Amino acid sequence: MADIAIETRDLNLWYGTFQALFDVNIQVKKGMITSLIGPSGCGKSTLLRTVNRVNERLGYVRTTGSVDVLGQDAFGEDVELARLRKEVGMVFQRPNPLPLSIRDNVLFSHRIHRGNAKASKSDEDVLLEDALRQVLLWDDVKDRLNQNATSLSLEEQQKLCIARLLPVKPSVLLMDEPTSALDPKATAALEELIWSFRGSYTILIVTHNMAQARRASEDCAFMLLGKMMEVAPTADLFLSPQLPETADYIEGRYG
Amino acid sequence: MSLFARTGLDEHNRRVEWLVKTLFLLMTVLLIIPVALIMGILIQRGAPVLSWGFLTEVPTNGMTAGGIFTALIGTVWIVAVALLASVPIGVAAAVYLSEYAPDNWLTRAINLAIINLAGVPSIVHALFGLGAFVVFFGFGRSILAASLTLAVMTLPIVIVATRESLQAVPHAFREACWNMGATRWQTIRRVVLPNSISGILTGVILEVSRTAGETAPIMFTGAAAFLPFLPQGVLDQTMAMSLHLYVVSTQVPDVPDALPFGVALVLISMVLVMNATSIAFRIYLRNKRKW
Amino acid sequence: MVDNAPKLSVRNLSVRYGDKQALNGISLDVFPNEIFGIIGPANSGKTSFLRALNRMEEFDANMTVEGDILFEGQDITAIRNVYALRRKVGVVFPLPVGLPMSIYENVAFAPKLAGIKKKAELDEIVERCLIRAALWDEVKDRLDALGSLLSGGQQQRLTIARALSQNPELLLLDEFSIAVDPVTTMRIEDVLKELKEEITIVLVTNLVQQARRLADRTAFFLESELVETAETEELFSGVVKDQRTRDYVEGRFG
């Protein structure tokens, strides 16, 4: 199926003896924004982190079932993690720019993935400007590209964290509550930015803010206690949820 | 060809990764070799003199025969008195620094002083002990003077270990207690100390092995080269394992070759047993850990 | 309700941590036997407000508090015995903090601090508080088990039992349901509705719907300031003075 970017089948995951995911099945459509909602501890971040396999760094994680990314088994034997993570970028809850200049932050992954091949300064300049323009940051920072990225405001830092994924041309972006550390104005700006990526990237976004899921996603998946409860177009899920648990959650009965 | 298949770049990266990892492993192995060699040589050359009598008899024939009983007991005395002095002071100071002290220049200066104290060479401590405890306080050359010198030298070990284990107790526990109207001391006594005891004890046991092994600080302050009887109190002089090893290795003629190795083997075994106890105890307490 | 004397009267309260302003000029009243809700996004000053009420600045050299807080008409900065104040004020944290001691000891901790020594009296307090916190049936056979090894939901009810063991007149809850499953959340909410008959409750929550279900009046905090305080019903039916409140309640940000 060419229009599916991420597909999990019967995905189970354990942290040691604690089971965090139970038979999760979901298809994330290519070029769409899909939000993952559910109360704290429901496994939404775990699911997100399974897609680019960052969970494995914790030695005690065990998974069964399968995750396909762009039609390829992400847990296949010949999968090189560097290739997978180049294709699947990740944005975290707290902006985490590297303690380098704005310029070096944006070009970091590009430099790693290009290996020893020399790139001219002008090639890098093009990539840099393009990435920063995509996240609407170029005009604000173009005169201080050598400044340390940690001196930017939180909103700018989070935009930069998105920008640094772009030069290696990923197709999937994973976002783990990307606006929860931001104020209202910055949240709106980030949501607008994410919305503008629609069609260009497949985006899977974890959020605890139901209204954000409603505003800024096309498909919505509701998880509860490690299980995938319901996946539907966002408007449908919020207007006519199929399960009472979903209805309770989106009405704020718990969280 | 899979989308995520390995490329030439990945092959290169993997080779570099392997090279770096192997190099670091090699350095680690290099570190272990001397330790293994020391133990091997000590066992091989010291084992012939080991016997029950070696541990329970007084040295005889100008220390060329007999056992090491007086030195062994002397070391126990010195260690015990040093602990009695340093543990209460060290733990109290650590509790103050961790739980009470405001974060200001004075606290930072004290912390710096503690780190520096740990870096002072033991021979300097020895001279300090001679001046302060032997001469100024008039304890003379005695167990008390030697032990106090060692206590001063090992205080940083206790303080640092205690402070770190206190800080490992989650702050949330303290907040919960304070919010219930507990004072700082009530919180420390009922929640913080009981849950950091394993780290404190680890520090104490580390201190024991350090104290048992030091030579210079006790040489000037209370350890004697040869005494055929046991000390009767803290103001007596005593023999000690570390000094005995020094004396039989360098100062006494016609010592059988195996004898110094035997002394060293007993001393190092003492230290190893204490360290092993420390590790076992830490594992035991960690398994009992309550959060 | 409003014609009562306020249980808690806060005037022009500001909190700073070092140079960082956490709360700026808050004034509000909390009346006896109400649940007073506080909503607002992360870092809006909600937790700092609760910390100031219990004079936590004494344990945090970095924290400075300015303004007046009157508890039953008495200025709490003038109270000599702050430990007695804290015993009258129970606190429940976002993440359950079961102290690393037995379930029994967790609940008996505060009464022991208050000088109660008799076993029978402590037994009675422990049982009563655990029943009130809807935890008794699950733990009555293992009161010697470690409190910190209970499940998250049970631990949170344990901390509520512990807060009740102080016989508090004021109960402060800080996002208590953040790490708790839905069923436990509903049980605790029911407990709070009952408790309201006897004590005053300040409920900080990140769930606007929870404030709607529980609170009689609700205050909206944003960026260290109090935007407005209103009857909860009004707030949710759109009778708000400030557009930002409507935006938040409707989930436009946060």
Domain boundaries, chain B: 8-49, 52-287
Sign of torsion, CA B2 B3 B5 B6?
positive
Average pLDDT of chain A? 90
CA distance A162 to B53: 75
Terminal CA-CA length for chain C: 31
pLDDT at A39: 79
CB contact under 8 A, A39 and C250: no
Is residue A135 less than 8 Å (CB to CB) from chain B?
no
Helix, strand, or coil (residue C11): strand
CB contact under 8 A, C86 and B186: no
HEC string for C186-225 = HHHHHHHHHHCCCCEEEEEECCHHHHHHHCCEEEEEECCE
pLDDT at B132: 94
DSSP string, C48-65: HHHHHHTTGGGG-TTEEE
β-sheet bridge partners, residue A64: A12
Tokens of C208: 């606007």
Is residue B3 less than 8 Å (CB to CB) from chain A?
yes
Chain A residues whose CB is inside 8 A of the B12 CB are: 115-116
pLDDT at A193: 93
Closest CA–CA distance from residue C115 to any residue of chain A (Å): 39
Is residue C42 less than 8 Å (CB to CB) from chain A?
yes
CA distance A106 to A96: 12
Is residue C24 less than 8 Å (CB to CB) from chain A?
no
- Residue keyed to tokens 């090893």: B245
Domains of chain C from N-terminus onward: 8-249 (3.40.50.300)
CB contact under 8 A, A254 and C244: no
DSSP string, A19-38: EEEEEEEEEEETT-EEEEE-
DSSP string, A68-88: EETTEETT-TT--HHHHHHHE
pLDDT at C1: 47
Q: Which CATH superfamily is domain B52-287 in?
A: MetI-like (1.10.3720.10)
Among all residues of chain B, which has the CA nearest to that of A88? B4
CA distance B116 to C243: 60
Is residue A74 less than 8 Å (CB to CB) from chain B?
yes
pLDDT at C32: 94
Which residues in chain C show pLDDT less than 50?
A: 1-2
β-sheet bridge partners, residue A15: A18, A61
DSSP string, B28-46: HHHHHHHHHHHHHHHHHHH
Average pLDDT of chain C? 89
pLDDT at A254: 61
CA distance A222 to B34: 59
Chain C residues whose CB is inside 8 A of the A211 CB are: 250-252
Is residue C254 less than 8 Å (CB to CB) from chain A?
yes
Closest CA–CA distance from residue C99 to any residue of chain B (Å): 6
Tokens of B256: 């059988």
Cα C140–chain centre separation: 26
Chain B residues whose CB is inside 8 A of the A78 CB are: 2, 4-6
Is residue B6 less than 8 Å (CB to CB) from chain A?
yes
Which of B4, B7, B12 to substitute to test the interface with A, most A CBs within 10 Å? B4
User: Could you say which residues from 142 to 171 on chain B have a Cβ atom under 8 Å away from some Cβ of chain A?
Assistant: none
ipTM over 0.95: no
Per-residue pLDDT of chain B (291 residues; tens, 9 = 90+): 578 888 888 899 999 999 999 999 999 999 999 989 999 999 999 988 888 888 888 888 887 888 889 999 999 999 999 999 999 999 999 999 999 998 889 999 999 999 888 889 999 999 999 999 999 999 999 999 999 999 999 999 999 999 999 999 988 899 899 988 889 999 999 999 988 988 888 888 888 888 998 999 999 998 888 888 888 988 998 999 999 999 988 888 888 888 899 999 999 898 888 888 878 887 887 776 555
pLDDT at A12: 95
pLDDT at A235: 93
Q: Which CATH superfamily is domain A4-97+172-250 in?
A: P-loop containing nucleotide triphosphate hydrolases (3.40.50.300)
- The residue type found at A68 is D
For chain A (255 residues), the mean pLDDT of every run of 10, in chain order, is 86 89 95 90 89 84 93 90 92 90 93 80 92 93 92 92 94 91 82 93 90 91 93 94 88 64
Alpha carbons within 13 A on the beta-carbon side of B7: 11
Helix, strand, or coil (residue C90): strand
Of B4, B9, B12, the CB nearest to A84: B4
Mind listing the pLDDT tens digit for each residue in A71-103?
Answer: 999 998 888 888 999 999 999 988 999 999 999
* CB within 8 Å of B11: residues ≥ 6 apart: none
Is residue C54 less than 8 Å (CB to CB) from chain A?
no
Of C179, C210, C254, the CB nearest to A209: C254
